[in-house]
C-alpha cells in the first residue's frame, strides 16, 4: 500500500498512478523459485506500488493448491495488481476445445484477469488465433498473446529442437492478434536478446516503430536487457522481469539510480 516514502524529499520521476497504460511491469511468480503468499505480501508491502501484473509462469498454478491460487490472486487485487495465467494456454489447447472452455471458466472462478496465449510449442493457424482471442474477451478476461522469433523455445526449456521464424512472421502475428482485440502483445526474448551472440535490436526497434510501446510488452529478465530497454525507449516501455528485480528496475525507471552518464560535479557548501 502506498504511503509516505523514506527520504521523500529526494526528487525522482514518479510513476503514473494505477491502472497504467504504460510503464507497466509484470513480474514472474513461482517457477524457477517458489513464491509463497507470505513472501508476496511482504514484497507487495514494499514494492506493490511498482508492480502491475503478477504472472504464473510455466503453468505453475496447476501445481498449487486451489485455495492458495485464490489467496494469491485476491492479495494481488488488494494491491492493485492484475493476475495472468502465463502461457499455459498452449498446454490446455493440446487437450482440445472442451479443456480450453473449462480453462477459461476456472480462470474466471479463480479471479484471474489476463490470459496469455503462446504458441512456442504448438501450431495455431491465424483463424484459430482470432477465435482464441475473441473467446478470452467474451469470457470477460484480457487476452495477452505472446509472439516469438523462435519456435520450440521459452520457459527455460533447453535441449528442444528449435526453428527460427522470420521477423515478418512476428509482425503478422501481432497484426492478427491486435485486429482480433488483444489487450497487449508479449514479445518473447528468445532469439532476440536471449540465446543469441548478438542482440536483434533492429527487430525490437521496428516493432516499437510499427506498434508503439503501449501495445507491447518485452521479456527482459536480465539486468543488461531491462537497462537497455529503459535507456533506449524511456521509462514508458512495458517489461516482464523476475520478481527479485522489481526494485532495481523501478530505480532505473524513476531515475533514482543507474544513470547512463555520471551525475556530474557538485560543490558542497553554502
Three-class secondary structure of residue 219 per DSSP: strand
Q: How much is the pLDDT for 270?
A: 65
Share of the chain above pLDDT 90, in %: 76
Q: How many CB atoms lie within 10 A of CB 163?
A: 9
Q: How much is the pLDDT for 178?
A: 97
C-alpha cell at 126: 491465424
| Burial grade of 5 (CB within 10 A; 0-12, 13-18, 19 or more) | exposed
Q: What is the pTM of this model?
A: 0.93
pLDDT along the chain (270 residues), means of 10: 85 95 96 94 97 95 96 98 93 92 97 90 86 96 93 56 73 95 95 91 96 96 95 97 96 91 81
Q: How much is the pLDDT for 213?
A: 95
Question: pLDDT tens for residues 100-135?
Answer: 999 999 999 999 999 999 877 778 888 999 999 999
Question: If we measure between CA atoms, which residue out of 76, 218, 203 comes closest to residue 144?
Answer: 218
| Burial grade of 150 (CB within 10 A; 0-12, 13-18, 19 or more) | buried
Instruction: Say which residue the cell 479443456 belongs to.
Output: 99
C-alpha cell at 219: 521479456
Tell me the CATH number for domain 25-253: 3.20.20.70
The alpha helices in 181-263, defined as continuous H runs, are 201-211, 223-233, 246-253
H/E stretch holding 116 reads: strand 114-117
Backbone phi and psi for residue 53, each to the nearest 5 degrees, phi listed first: -140, 140
Domain ranges of the chain: 25-253
Amino acid at each position: 500500500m502506498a504511503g509516505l516514502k523514506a527520504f521523500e524529499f529526494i526528487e525522482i520521476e514518479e510513476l503514473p498512478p494505477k491502472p497504467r497504460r504504460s510503464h507497466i511491469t509484470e513480474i514472474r511468480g513461482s517457477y524457477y523459485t517458489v513464491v509463497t503468499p507470505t513472501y508476496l505480501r511482504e514484497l507487495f508491502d514494499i514494492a506493490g506500488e511498482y508492480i502491475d501484473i503478477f504472472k504464473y509462469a510455466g503453468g505453475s498454478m496447476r501445481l498449487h493448491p486451489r485455495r492458495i491460487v485464490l489467496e494469491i490472486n485476491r492479495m494481488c487485487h488488494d494491491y492493485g495488481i492484475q493476475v495472468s495465467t502465463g502461457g499455459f494456454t498452449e498446454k490446455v489447447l493440446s487437450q482440445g476445445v472442451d479443456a480450453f472452455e473449462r480453462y477459461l471458466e476456472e480462470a474466471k472462478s479463480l479471479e484471474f484477469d489476463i490470459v496469455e496465449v503462446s504458441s512456442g510449442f504448438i501450431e495455431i493457424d491465424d483463424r484459430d488465433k482470432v477465435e482464441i482471442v475473441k473467446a478470452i474477451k467474451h469470457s470477460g478476461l484480457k487476452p495477452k498473446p505472446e509472439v516469438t522469433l523462435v519456435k520450440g523455445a521459452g520457459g527455460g526449456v533447453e535441449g528442444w529442437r528449435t526453428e527460427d521464424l522470420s521477423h515478418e512472421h512476428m509482425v503478422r502475428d501481432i497484426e492478427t492478434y491486435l485486429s482480433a482485440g488483444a489487450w497487449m502483445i508479449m514479445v518473447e526474448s528468445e532469439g532476440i536478446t536471449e540465446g543469441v551472440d548478438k542482440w536483434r535490436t533492429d527487430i525490437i526497434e521496428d516493432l516499437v516503430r510499427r506498434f508503439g510501446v503501449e501495445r507491447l510488452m518485452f521479456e527482459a529478465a536480465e539486468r543488461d536487457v531491462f537497462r537497455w530497454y529503459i535507456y533506449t525507449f524511456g521509462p514508458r516501455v512495458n517489461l516482464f522481469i523476475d520478481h527479485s528485480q522489481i526494485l532495481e528496475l523501478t530505480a532505473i525507471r524513476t531515475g533514482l539510480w543507474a544513470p547512463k552518464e555520471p551525475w556530474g560535479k557538485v560543490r558542497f557548501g553554502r
